[in-house]
Structure 1
Amino acid sequence: MLGARGDSHRQRPAYYVPRYLQEAGYRLFPVPVHEPRPIEILGEPIVPSLSALPPVDIVNVFRRSEQLPEHEADLLQLRPRAVWFQQGIVNDAVAGRLAEAGIDVVQDRCIMVEHRRLLPGAAH
C-alpha cells in the first residue's frame, strides 16, 4: 500500500481502503510517504520504501498522478503482478511503461469497490 495513512487519517481512502482489504483477509505492507511516518499502520509494521518490500502480488497506490514517476523505477524493479492506481489516479506514461514490462496496471479504480462488486458475500 504505497501512500498508506495511519489512524489519524481514518476518513481518507489511504486508511479505510487498506483496512477493508485487511479485514477481507489480505496481508498488507504499508509504505507511507507522508511525514511524520508512524511505526505501524493497521497493526502492520511500515516498510520504509518500495525497494524494501518482499515480493508482492499487487502494489495499491495512493499517490497523486504527478507523483507516480518518482516511484516508477522501484515498481519496475519490484515487478509485482499488478499495480493498482486508486480512483482519481491516472498516469498513462507510467502505466504504459509498467505494462511494457509485463506488469498489469489498473488506473482510476478503487480496489475496495471492485472487491465488493466481484466477490459474492464481500462486506458492503
Structure 2
Amino acid sequence: MHQNPDSDEIRDILSTSRTVAVVGLSDRPYRTSHAIARALQAFGFEIFPVNPHLSGPVLGETPFSKVQEIPERVDIVDVFRRSEEVMPVARDAVAAGARVLWMQSGIVNEEAAAYARQQGLTVVMDRCIKVDYASLVGR
C-alpha cells in the first residue's frame, strides 16, 4: 500500500520544483483544476495544461495532449483525472522524465503509484498541491 512522503519531503518537492503539468486542466474557471492551476501560477510555478480536449490557451498557456509533448522536462505531473484513469498518466509522466506524480485529493490508484515509484518517481496521492504549498511553503 502506498505511503505518501512525509511533510519535510513534500516541502522539499514543492520548494525545489518550478514546472507543473496539470493533467485534466479545465478551461472553465469554476472547475477545481482551473482554480488550483491559477493558484500554482500565483505561487510562481510555470504550468502546462495537459488535456486533449482543449482547443486554445488556458490561463495564458498553450495546452498539450500529453505530458510527453511538453518541450521541456516537468518537475511535477499534477493529476485531475478519475482514479481509474491515472495509469496512462503515470506511464506518460515516466516517459516524459517527470520527477513527481501527484494525484489530487480524492484520487487514489495504487497500481499507478507502484508503477511510478518503480520507475523512480516520487508519488504523492490523495493530497491537494495548493493546500500543501500554502501550509508547508507559504511564501
Amino acid at match of 2:40: L
In the alignment, structure 1 residue 52 sits paired with structure 2 residue 73: no
Count matched residues: 117
SS of corresponding position for 1:68: helix
Conservation of the 8 A alpha-carbon contact between 2:79 and 2:102: yes
Find the counterpart in structure 2 of residue 19 from structure 1: 38
Partner Cα separation in structure 2 for residue 24 and residue 60 of structure 1: 15
Aligned-residue sequence identity (percent) comes to: 34
**Following TM superposition, by how much is the alpha carbon of 1:38 offset from its aligned partner in structure 2, in angstroms?**
2.8
> Residue 86 of structure 1 aligns with which residue?
104
Higher relative contact order (CA 8 A, sep 6+): 2
Distance in 2, matches of 1:17 and 1:67, equals: 20
What is the TM-score with the length of structure 2 in the denominator?
0.79
What amino acid does structure 1 have at the position aligned with 2:25? Answer: A
Gaps of 5+ in 1: none
| Two-structure CA RMSD over aligned residues (Å) | 1.3
Q: Which residue of structure 2 lines up, in the alignment, with residue 68 of structure 1?
A: 86
Question: Could you tell me whether the CA contact under 8 Å between 2:90 and 2:101 is conserved in 1?
Answer: no
Post-superposition Cα deviations, 1:26-82, rounded to whole Å, max 9, x if no partner, equal 10111124x3x2311001111222220221111111000001123232122112110
